[in-house]
Amino acid sequence: MNTVIHQLEMIDRFTSDPNATDYDRAVTYCTNILTNCPASIRHNALKCEYLLRALQLKEASKFSNELMLNPSIASIPLIQCWRGRILCYSGNET
């Protein structure tokens, strides 16, 4: 449990720092949090954002596809918004 608390603190510090640019590390924090809290809408959305900012388009597309397979998460507007952005940035505009 201490690990999750630590990861939450680290991601909160990262999101509050306007000069933070280590998006790969932020993706790792979000991944670790989602291991224990897979239904966290905030951290699923943050992971999508940080994957895009880290220019990991293939991983972002794969992750958002997995989110769309979960009906309870796929219906959340914030997740749909990030899914749309990932599709646009990946060149899959439909």
CA torsion sign for 20, 24, 57, 80 is negative
Q: All domains of the chain, ordered by start, with CATH? A: 2-90 (1.25.40)
pLDDT of residue 21: 86
Name the residue with higher pLDDT: 37 or 94: 37
Output the CA–CA distances (angstroms, integers) from residue 33 to 37, 46, 91, in the order listed: 6, 11, 29
pTM: 0.88
Q: Which residue has the higher pLDDT, 68 or 6?
A: 68
**How big is the chain, counted in residues?**
94
**Backbone angles phi and psi of 81, in degrees to 5:** -60, -50
Residue 66's pLDDT is what? Answer: 96
CA 94 to CA 86: how far, in whole Å? Answer: 12
At 6-59, the pLDDT tens digits run 888 888 888 888 888 889 999 999 999 999 899 999 999 999 999 999 999 999
Is the distance from CB of 26 to CB of 11 less than 8 angstroms? Answer: yes
pLDDT at 48 (0 to 100): 96
